């Protein structure tokens, strides 16, 4: 603490009266006691501040835990909502794909039926063409037979004519 006696003596040596020195030191002492913190005050303040900091630290820890729990719950809600929405979209996608697949299958079946009918028509036309070719081949065979018979007749007649010509030539030559 402040040594008031020593300060009073120094003020008196400087020219203050004893009463002035005492009043001055007392005034300064009262002023310092009223406005300045003592070591004891600082220790008390340090203790209070330390306790308040511990309380604040516990409060902050507790609040952080609450916020973390709230954040986790909110994230879980959002994740659930996201999963539900994804499931809905996936169901909608599957349904749409099934519709498109059914439409595709129906169209393919129609095209396959159309192709089969067209192939049947072409097959029938080929059968008709084959039948016509068979008729033409039959006609050609009959013509071949007729030509052979005509060739035989022509050969026979030519042979007969040659014999007659040889006979005539021989007769003409003898005459």
pLDDT in tens, 134-175: 999 999 999 999 999 999 999 998 889 889 988 888 888 887
> How do residues 70-93 score in pLDDT, each as one tens digit?
999 999 999 999 999 999 999 999
Query: What is the Cα gyration radius of the chain?
Result: 68
pLDDT at position 175 is: 73
5 pLDDT higher than 90: no
Calpha distance 119→22 (Å, rounded):
134
- Does residue 16 contact residue 24 with C-beta atoms inside 8 Å? yes
Calpha distance 21→30 (Å, rounded):
14
Calpha distance 20→11 (Å, rounded):
8
pLDDT at position 70 is: 96
DSSP 89-114: HHHHHHHHHHHHHHHHHHHHHHHHHH
What's the maximum distance between 2 C-alpha atoms anywhere in the chain?
212
- Does residue 39 contact residue 49 with C-beta atoms inside 8 Å? no
Confidence grade of residue 36 (pLDDT, cut at 50, 70, 90): confident
pLDDT at position 47 is: 82
- Does residue 27 contact residue 2 with C-beta atoms inside 8 Å? no
pLDDT at position 1 is: 46
Calpha distance 56→42 (Å, rounded):
20
Which range in 18-22, 33-37, 74-78, 165-169 is most confidently predicted, on average pLDDT? Answer: 74-78
pTM equals 0.41
Residue showing tokens 């402040």: 2
């Amino acid at each position: 603490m402040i040594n008031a006696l020593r300060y009073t003596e120094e003020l008196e040596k400087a020219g203050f009266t004893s009463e002035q020195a005492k009043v001055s030191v007392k005034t300064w002492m009262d002023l310092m006691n009223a406005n300045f913190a003592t070591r004891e005050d600082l220790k008390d303040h340090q203790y209070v501040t330390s306790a308040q900091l511990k309380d604040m630290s516990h409060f902050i820890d507790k609040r952080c835990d609450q916020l973390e729990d709230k954040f986790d719950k909110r994230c879980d809600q959002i994740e659930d909502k996201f999963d539900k929405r994804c499931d809905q979209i996936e169901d909608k996608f599957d349904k749409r794909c099934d519709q498109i697949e059914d439409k595709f299958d129906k169209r393919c079946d129609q095209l396959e039926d159309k192709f089969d009918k067209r192939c049947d028509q072409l097959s029938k036309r080929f059968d008709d063409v084959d039948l016509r070719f068979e008729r033409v081949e039959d006609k050609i065979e009959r013509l071949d037979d007729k030509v052979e018979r005509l060739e035989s007749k022509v050969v026979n007649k030519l042979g007969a004519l040659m014999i007659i010509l040889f006979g005539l030539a021989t007769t003409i030559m003898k005459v």
